[in-house]
Structure 1
Amino acid sequence: MNRNKSNRLMPLIMAVCVVVGVVIGTFYTSHFSGNRLSIINSSGNKLNNLLHIVDDQYVDTVDINKLVEDAMPQILAELDPHSVYIGAKDVQAVNDDLKGSFSGVGIEFTIREDTIRVQNVVNAGPADRAGVKAGDKIVSVDGKPFVGKIVTNDEAMRRLKGPKDTKVKLGLLGYGEKKVRYVTITRDDIPQRSISATYMINDNTGYIKVKSFGENTYPELLISLAKLSQEDLQNLIVDLRGNVGGYMMAVIQMVNEFLPKDRLIVYTQGRKSPRQEYRSDGRGSYQKIPLVVLIDEGSASASEIFAGAIQDNDRGTVIGRRSFGKGLVQQPMAFNDGSMIRLTIARYYTPSGRCIQKPYTSGSDKDYEDDLMMRYQHGEYFSQDSIKHEGPEYHTSIGRTVYGGGGITPDIFVAEDTLGVTSYYKEAGMTGLIFQFAYDYTDENRARLGEFTDMESLLDYLKKQNMVERFASYADRKGLRRRNLMIRKSHHLLERFIDSRIIYNMLDDEAWIEYLNLDDPAIEKAVDVFKAKQAFPKKAVEPRKADKGGKTAMTVFGKGYDYRGTHVSCSLTAKG
């Protein structure tokens, strides 16, 4: 009897033990680990409950999925300026920017008067093989008209891009043609170059323009360096102006080519990310070449890692204007529906220990968004004395003073050009009239312009065509009143802008960049640095008191010196 009673009570006893165990466990978890998990869970439940209540009781029908999509960016915006949410439909386009290729038809286009105009065709690409020509208008896609208000960049990309080996049928109108011709294009992988120019500035100075840091940027750099090495390369300019960044590992590999063994390139650290250092392995083939790095306010993130590593290791000279100031590391995290977030998980630090992230406050920070405009208004683009360093001082390997907390300040400052700028020139540029004129002129004269296969010969031809006068007449017909005094004052800038766009339309990125570099003061200053053999920074010295023999000796500063006083200021001037 007692045994049967004991058997009947056993389940009850076990249940009581489980409950007691849960209570004790909850107590100790709360006591030793805090209430963070329960807070997160309760907050998550609160959000879920809110969505359920809205879905169930709100006065109108609500698209809950859209509500969540709209809320995600706002939640991340409360953290920092660079943690972002990317919807599923935008993920592919965002990733394509840094991948070595994407699948599409292989054209570069512009939209004018609600119609796609083919600006350039990728050589030997799918569109080129199908007979698409620069200047063609795309008027239909897959048998359906594609003109009018429906034509947007996003919609055009959606229709033209697609999986490899799929087909798309385009209806085309060439310049002066009245009958639509049709071509069927088989989509293929289209290479995306992140190095847009590689050429020799002069007999011994090479130039490489890096527009982003993607999957293939490091191999592209090696190819560029090999090409230049065949042309008596003795000095190198790496142009990072306007480069907003990309993959951190790409820039680490690139910097490694220029540093001796065991030099710190960058390190990262965050609340959940222990310090991780990235050092040079000593295998780089260009450790001793004189080097200049060009930066400006558009150089950000990975560009600043490159410039900071070169500057802090005293490996080369940085020329230009203060960089953007992005020192946060984002990690992509995907959701099941194809969307993703890029969450800031760490900060990166240059070899001297500085974080170059400019100040921000969590949530909506208008000052952060308007920072570049505020720099302009404060005169920083025009005078190095207007640069304000709010971060602490750090020191390079030989003791030069550098600053954290707001971008990389160059060793040699180059101001932005204001000579020749008039309200006429500004309006011509900002309204897009110069782009429109250049495209129309290119289209109307494509056969003649096509006879010139290099930048120099095409430029010689354009110089004889009185392009500024042609533009002024064109702009006057389009509503920009002719202002002869302003046109004369801005003549060089107008001619430079117009010629550059026509060169771009007819040739490629490299020819366009080579033309713009012809009278670029930052390039000129870099060449001067090489001629003076000053690419490698030197320790500061100061006179020492005369000795008994009356001779004055020199002494090296025992502490880091303030490099602001040793900057060379170079004001931009336009040549008449």
Structure 2
Amino acid sequence: MEKKNSYIWPTLLALAVAIGVFIGGKLHFNDTPEKLFTTNSKKDKLNRLIDYIDYEYVDDIDTDSIVDVTVNNILGKLDPHSVYIPKSEMEEISENMKGDFGGIGVSFYMYRDTITVIRTIKNGPSYISGIKPGDRILTADNDTLFGRRIANSEVVSKLKGQVGTKVDLKVYRKSENKMMDVTVTRNKIPIKSVEAYYMVTPDMGFIKINRFAESTFKEFKDALRKLKLRGAKKLILDLRDNPGGYLGIAEKLADEFLEDDKLILYTKNKKGRIKKAFATKKGDFENKPVYVLINERSASASEIIAGALQDNDIGTIVGRRSFGKGLVQREMDLGDGSAVRLTVSRYYTPTGRSIQKSYKNGEHKDYYQKFMERYNSGELISVDSIKVADSLKFVTPKGKVVYGGGGIIPDVFVPIGSNEEEAIESMDDTYQFFSRFVFEHLEKDRKRYFDYTRNEFMEGYRVDDILFDEFIQFVLNRKIRLDFYAQEEKIKAYIKANIAEQLFSPNISAQIKGDFDSMLQKVKELDAIDLDISEKMEISQRKD
């Protein structure tokens, strides 16, 4: 397994960071359509070629597909983050970045060719209609939703729809062995970007953000408010694996931590026009300790926040060097339902550094190969392996040295885990082995968990050896080999965390996993040191 994981892990990293290709910031684009799209010979040539093929070519050709290929080829000659979004993908991408869609409010698996509900959103449409975890949804408005040939996208399209519309479902409840007819009125279903939040210590909160969508700032403020009510005077902001999103949302979030008039970033476009963004009086967490967690998959808007805080000597950046995306995109409609996200400017952190890693126009494969070079060079294991250039050295107001080019280097480095530790993470996040196993476990006997409250589950539930051995067999059946017993404690914790998520909420799941999170443990160590120093200074001042 160790050898196998050594190949799996870097491949997963490269695949994960590719998500960032589709996500960028938004800027005001001042040129009018008339100015941008005037006739010229280059455009005439392309239009004429398409017309010739349409009307004169000997065979019938799908010119739409030719146009798509042409657009992709043109963008391929630019930077790696200027991308084409075909009409077929626009709706899903738009919903993801908007932060909600019209639906019935369930998460589900296609379990043995049938939709099986994992969890309903509390007070959502399905919850109100009486649908429960474990229920099978067989039809929607008399359309069959079971069978091996039913695509997941087809299922989703039947359940989604305009807010306020009704859908008639036929549901089978296994636990009671009965069929039910249920009418559900669709409503707005949030796509959460604040993945989890909870109290790490009596005075330190934790918020995990997985992207910067339209709803992210509102979600963050709501989570922060609840944590402050619970006593949070310090905060851990987890931006690991966050590929970015809207520039304006990142600016708002950075403003929460920065004092008035502090520079957040500035952008520079093709014409050399500079636009600066400054902090305002709206910040709710100024002059309080904050720790920002980043890793090799933190990109774009995540790097804007980390860079703004680091350059203003605010908080502590913990983790590994971020991805290195310093380009800003604007999404522009192409008139047929498709769009292009085109790089329109570069952004710079307050000290003036660009964290964009190098690329050659049209050589995108080399761009991502450089990411793999980081893994092979050992920089994920040792901070001393990170290559920096003196020419890209910058200094913060308090004299801290920071570097541009190729991402944000953290203030405190935390190495990546062993192959086996990372294999467990992959089985959880990427392959969903834990989630699938727990789902099947709950399918056998949900009633045994009915009497648990959240607190009782957190404090009293233990994964026994029988369930642990069942998980080993589950994974072995999928041809994965691992020294399971060397990782027994972590595996049992992850099983418990996934049970908690399916029974209760992602917040409890994240809290359970946190005990095995090396970056979180490092923050606790740093906080303990800072607390000790503060106490000694206070005692010294009293003596004086």
Aligned-pair CA distance for 1:458: 4.7
Q: Helix, strand or coil: the match of 1:533?
A: helix
Q: Is the 8 A contact 1:265 1:350 kept in 2?
A: yes
Change in Cα spacing, 1:456 to 1:207, as seen in structure 2 (3 Å) is: farther
CA–CA distance in structure 2, aligned partners of residues 392 and 331 of structure 1: 27
Residue 513 of structure 2: which of 504, 509, 516 is its match?
Answer: 516
Match of 1:468 in 2: 468
Q: Is the 8 A contact 2:104 2:124 kept in 1?
A: yes
Residue 505 of structure 1: which of 484, 502, 505 is its match?
Answer: 502
Change in Cα spacing, 1:87 to 1:244, as seen in structure 2 (3 Å) is: same
CA–CA distance in structure 2, aligned partners of residues 316 and 421 of structure 1: 28
Change in Cα spacing, 1:415 to 1:329, as seen in structure 2 (3 Å) is: same
Q: Helix, strand or coil: the match of 2:483?
A: helix
Change in Cα spacing, 1:126 to 1:363, as seen in structure 2 (3 Å) is: same
Q: Is the 8 A contact 2:463 2:495 kept in 1?
A: no
Q: Helix, strand or coil: the match of 2:489?
A: helix
Q: Helix, strand or coil: the match of 1:532?
A: helix
Q: Helix, strand or coil: the match of 1:252?
A: helix
CA–CA distance in structure 2, aligned partners of residues 425 and 211 of structure 1: 16
With the length of structure 2 as denominator, give the TM-score of the two structures: 0.84
CA–CA distance in structure 1, aligned partners of residues 82 and 450 of structure 2: 46
Match of 2:267 in 1: 268
Q: How does 1:532-551 map to 2 (within 5 A)?
A: 532-533=529-530
CA–CA distance in structure 2, aligned partners of residues 342 and 430 of structure 1: 27
Q: How does 1:134-145 map to 2 (within 5 A)?
A: 134-145=133-144
Match of 2:276 in 1: 277
RCO (CA 8 Å, sep 6+): is it higher in 1 or 2?
Answer: 2
Aligned-pair CA distance for 1:429: 8.5
Aligned-pair CA distance for 1:343: 1.1
Match of 1:101 in 2: 100
CA–CA distance in structure 1, aligned partners of residues 84 and 111 of structure 2: 31
CA–CA distance in structure 1, aligned partners of residues 277 and 425 of structure 2: 47
Q: Give 1:341's aligned amino acid.
A: V
CA–CA distance in structure 2, aligned partners of residues 193 and 378 of structure 1: 35
Q: Deviations over 1:545-569 (max 9, x none)?
A: xxxxxxxxxxxxxxxxxxxxxxxxx
Match of 1:529 in 2: 526
Change in Cα spacing, 1:255 to 1:432, as seen in structure 2 (3 Å) is: closer
| 1:250 matches 2:262 | no
Q: Is the 8 A contact 1:264 1:277 kept in 2?
A: yes
Change in Cα spacing, 1:410 to 1:197, as seen in structure 2 (3 Å) is: same
CA–CA distance in structure 2, aligned partners of residues 84 and 534 of structure 1: 47
Aligned-pair CA distance for 1:242: 1.6
Q: How does 1:381-530 map to 2 (within 5 A)?
A: 381-389=380-388, 392-418=392-418, 420-421=420-421, 433-454=433-454, 457-458=457-458, 460-464=460-464, 466-475=466-475, 478=477, 480=479, 486-530=483-527
Indicate the percent of aligned positions where both proteins have the same amino acid.
Answer: 37
Q: Helix, strand or coil: the match of 2:468?
A: helix
Larger Rg: 1
Q: Deviations over 1:460-490 (max 9, x none)?
A: 32333543212124445x3648x7x822223
Q: Is the 8 A contact 2:79 2:364 kept in 1?
A: no
CA–CA distance in structure 1, aligned partners of residues 105 and 192 of structure 2: 13
Match of 2:356 in 1: 357
Change in Cα spacing, 1:70 to 1:501, as seen in structure 2 (3 Å) is: farther
Q: Is the 8 A contact 2:208 2:237 kept in 1?
A: yes
Match of 2:226 in 1: 227
Q: Helix, strand or coil: the match of 2:98?
A: coil
CA–CA distance in structure 2, aligned partners of residues 227 and 42 of structure 1: 59
Q: Deviations over 1:499-538 (max 9, x none)?
A: 32222222211111111112322112112222222899xx
Change in Cα spacing, 1:174 to 1:375, as seen in structure 2 (3 Å) is: farther
Gaps of 5+ in 1: 1-36, 537-576
Change in Cα spacing, 1:431 to 1:286, as seen in structure 2 (3 Å) is: closer
With the length of structure 1 as denominator, give the TM-score of the two structures: 0.79
The number of residues matched between the two structures is 498
Q: Give 2:464's aligned amino acid.
A: K
| 1:291 matches 2:285 | no
**What's the RMSD between the two structures over aligned residues?**
3.0
Q: Helix, strand or coil: the match of 1:357?
A: coil
Deviates more, 1:422-431 or 1:216-225: 422-431
Q: Helix, strand or coil: the match of 1:92?
A: helix
Q: Deviations over 1:377-418 (max 9, x none)?
A: 332222222222357222222222211121111111111111
